[in-house]
Amino acid sequence: MKRMPVVVIAAVMAIAVIGTMTFSAEGADEASSPIYGIKIPAGYRDWKLIAVDHLLLAGKSDQLRAQLGNDIAIKAFREGKLPFPDGSIIAAIHWTHVASDGNDKVLDGPFPGTRSFVVGSRVNIQFMVKDSKKYAATGGWGFADFTDGKPGSEALHKTCFPCHTPAKDRDYVFTRYAP
Amino acid sequence: MKRMPVVVIAAVMAIAVIGTMTFSAEGADEASSPIYGIKIPAGYRDWKLIAVDHLLLAGKSDQLRAQLGNDIAIKAFREGKLPFPDGSIIAAIHWTHVASDGNDKVLDGPFPGTRSFVVGSRVNIQFMVKDSKKYAATGGWGFADFTDGKPGSEALHKTCFPCHTPAKDRDYVFTRYAP
């Protein structure tokens, strides 16, 4: 797949915003990630679900997480197609993992001792964008991390690719499509 | 909103299947839930994400869960519109919550002691379907629970509505839209 000129990307994003009725203000954020120059893709909150996970990040936070994919990424996941084609974008939303006392009260009747945890506030969001030419030096992937709409530091972004290299045989993607 | 005749629902489902390239064999399952007569809605795996949660169901299982909504439900969630309009469907997918040794090995370097949990196999899927006339006796909601494509028992389905009554002020829906 050829690299798309910026104007085409902008048009696609505009269509995505209109087509999916995005309510997130983040889509309008103009900040981009260091090194990779990636902005928050408009409409990503409406992308299809890849999987969810739970990360107890020692000494930092306890997180509930979801990974969403644009249509190109979702198709590749389902077909088990590797490497992911150019244009694939994977979004990861990370929230705090908080106890739900309300749910526990309800569930304690039929299931004594049950504990329910729901999402709290957002910790951060991350994106992996596949462009095999632009990001040839990092496995064809560009990375981006945002907290409250603001991109993380250059130092932080330097850690993305090395951390993903153990998943090289899955094109640097840890997440597997949930059944 | 008027109740849709079966032929219209079937057409909508057919379009959903074609439009979203659903690969799940479950969509073709013809079994329906006791009491409510609800079948697995085709294409539900591609619906938009409402939220995720983690349920430690005492003595039964440890689950990672995601709630997805059709477009009518998603719109109502975002607009904070209650009660949910007829035609709203909420899908809940429940998976086992399993430790990921592979992820732990990677993350233990930068974050010693970190523990990662991913989805394992599916436990069950559940649906809430809003039809204020058809399901007037149960708050306007019909319920359905499926394990491996097969609906749960009538006894199980009798527990759905009573368990949801504590959430009456939120139209019987516990899940809140994740930020």
Residues of A in contact with B56 (CB under 8 A): 114-117
CB of B160 less than 8 A from some CB of A: no
CA distance B46 to B26: 13
Record: contact B54-A103, CB cut-off 8 A:
no
Pairing of strands A89-99, A61-69: antiparallel
- Give the lowest-confidence range in A115-129, B31-45, B57-71, B105-119: B105-119
pLDDT of residue A95: 98
Q: Does B23 have pLDDT greater than 50?
A: no
More confidently predicted of B178 and B25: B178
Per-residue pLDDT of chain A (179 residues; tens, 9 = 90+): 444 444 444 443 333 333 333 334 444 447 999 999 999 999 999 999 999 999 998 878 999 999 999 999 999 999 998 999 999 999 999 999 999 988 888 888 888 899 999 999 999 999 999 999 999 999 999 999 999 999 999 999 999 999 999 999 999 999 999 99
What global pTM score does this model have? 0.83
Round the average pLDDT of chain B to a whole number and report it: 87
pLDDT of residue B102: 86
* Contact indicator for B65, B123 with CB cutoff of 8 Å: no
Quote ipTM for the complex: 0.83
DSSP-derived 3-state class of residue A58 = coil
Record: contact B111-A57, CB cut-off 8 A:
yes
